[in-house]
A and B are shown apart, each in its own frame.
Chain A
Amino acid sequence: MSVIAFILLGSVVLLPAAALMALRWAASSGQFRCPDKAALLPFDEVEPVGLETDRILGGNRR
């Protein structure tokens, strides 16, 4: 029982603390600052915005 109590109490303290630290880290490292930039992250010069990257079905295939 005491083992469980330690694990539980520990996790009750540590997990929210970790979540808060993650939030603080996100804010301080500018993760919330440039949403315009973040939204563009899946794209790059090779596959820029406007390029359809998965055109398999429907006619353009020999």
Chain B
Amino acid sequence: MIKQSQTLRALLPGDALTGGGTDVGNRAALSEIDASCRVPVLFFFLSGLAWLLAGTVLALVASIKLHTPGFLAGWEWLTFANVRTAHLNTVIYGFASQISVGVTIWLMCRLCRIPLVAPGLVTVANLFYNIGVTVGVGGILIGDSTAIEWLEMPRYATPILFISYALIAVWTIVTFRLRAERHLYVSQWYLLAAVLWFPWLYGTAQVMLLIEPVRGVVQAAVNWWFAHNVLGLWFTPIGLASIYYFIPKVIGRPIHSYYLSVLGFWSLALFYNWNGMHHLVGGPLPSWMITVSIVASVMMLIPVITVAINHHFTMLGHFGKLKHSPTLRFMVFGAVSYTLASLQGVASALRSVSEVTHFTHHTIAHAHLGMYAFFSMVMFGAMYYILPRITQREWPSNSLISLHFWGVALGIVLYVVPMSIMGFIQGTMLNDAAVRFLDVVQFTLPWLKLRTLAGLLLAAGHVAFVINVGWLLVRMFEPYRKPVVRILTGEAETVAAAKQP
């Protein structure tokens, strides 16, 4: 490791090291990496958060429309179909993907131990990416949706997205090639795989569904292969990479078992991309395709349990630290949700469960358990760690951090638990020929109102977070003050620094 820090020092301007011994040199190297990421990562985070706010508003409108159909009924570009689709695309491509890229960049630089290469390229990619998402979501709202789930963005928006995405992927590989640390940490496996998998998924789906569409049920098969793999081969690896890095990093203890993490990665890589067809249980597909998907879905228990055991035993004896670290709170919440979401997913892939839960709100609860309670929470945790380091400023308000955490934690629990139960009851009612459809609809109404309430809690959390980030940015332009390196140096120095006038 001394050798690595020497490599780092070789990359730094000479005067950064004149201050003292190895420790100062290493500190400077770490700061150099963080500082090199500042502009592009901030860009990704800020545009991601802007899309998060837009997505939250769209989600609330869609949620209210489900129990109060007259709400905003006079605006034809805000019909439920448009709003719901715009919500999905905003949070997936606008929010989640952009935060993912920001986190990927920072983690890659940290783990490769080199400052960011060509940050300008990444910033340009970010710019194009945002243009692509804006055009795409605007296209959906004016009614140009392709009506293919998860690929609703009109055809004129997707090439921009694909190109900017390819720039990011190429950049990641370049950074990886230039790395100063030869040995790979498990997070890098996940990140590299995700960065390579996503263009493959997106490109294949674009060609087979939009550019030169295949015919018949093959479209459905390709559609769900893509939609499920976006979760499993793009978001999940980046979420897991973050958990694998941040939990050990925050509590200061290596991961419980590195063997398990390797097993988890390769079994995910092997099994996940078969999973998509379990969305078509009961559909007109050859039974072997669905069966293979169900088996692969159940096999996902291997990586999931592996990861769960690994994270749990890493945390064992360190749960007290949850009190002090927002990053750890969000990470552990996300890690637990990952296990729960995966178990729920395995269960609802089975034919006997799927025939009840299919086409109900249960699926929607499951999607939010995966995308929000797992992935978004992990991304929030990562941002709590990364933002102070790249801006060299402390978080301005602890109360806003608490408001954010408790708002979104309570909000998502209040969302997922009742909706899962309601969806299951809804499914049994739908399967009962004696129950009128209107009765099923009326049964869901109070639960849907509860969902709007949960959505408001989530929105409050998001607003608190965005205010805190904005405040942090304001501080960035204030003159640098000595004690702000507190979280970078640990608790003991914090107290000492705080005592100095």
Contacts and interface: CB of A to CB of B under 8 A. Distances in A.
Interface of A: 1, 3-4, 7-8, 11, 15, 18-19, 23, 26, 29-32, 34-58, 60-62
Nearest to B260: A35
Contacts of A37: 183
Contact of A4 (B200, B208, B327, B487): B208
Contact of A55 (B27, B204, B266, B490): B490
A37 B251 CA distance: 18
Interface stretch (B44-52, B121-129, B394-402): B394-402
A44 B181 CA distance: 12
A46 B30 CA distance: 9
Contacts of B250: 52-54
B325 A55 contact: yes
Contacts of B402: 57
Contacts of B258: 35-36, 38-39
B385 A54 contact: yes
A38 B185 contact: yes
Which are the 3 A-B pairs with shortest beta-carbon distances? A35-B258, A41-B185, A54-B325
A45 to B, nearest CB: 5
Given A23-B266, A40-B254, A44-B30, 15 more contacts: A18-B196, A26-B184, A35-B262, A42-B248, A44-B1, A44-B4, A46-B23, A51-B252, A52-B490, A55-B324, A55-B494, A56-B324, A57-B326, A57-B402, A61-B498
Interface in B24-68: 26-27, 30
Interface of B: 1-2, 4-5, 22-23, 26-27, 30, 110-111, 181-187, 196, 200, 204, 207-208, 212, 214, 245, 248-255, 258-259, 262, 266, 269, 321, 323-328, 384-385, 394-395, 398, 401-402, 487-488, 490-491, 494-495, 498
Given A55-B324, A55-B491, A11 B204 contact: yes
Contacts of A38: 183-186, 258
A15 B212 CA distance: 21
Nearest to A45: B26
A1 to B, nearest CB: 7
A44 B395 contact: no
Contact of A42 (B26, B249, B495): B249
Contacts of B490: 51-53, 55
A57 B184 contact: no
A56 B399 CA distance: 11
Nearest to A37: B183
Contact of A53 (B323, B326, B487): B487
Contacts of A31: 183-184
A36 B326 CA distance: 28
Contact of B252 (A1, A8, A23, A53): A53
28 contacts: A7-B204, A8-B204, A11-B204, A19-B269, A30-B183, A34-B183, A35-B258, A39-B248, A41-B184, A41-B185, A42-B248, A43-B254, A45-B23, A46-B27, A47-B252, A50-B252, A52-B324, A52-B491, A53-B488, A53-B490, A55-B321, A55-B491, A56-B325, A57-B398, A60-B324, A60-B491, A60-B494, A61-B498
A60 B488 CA distance: 15
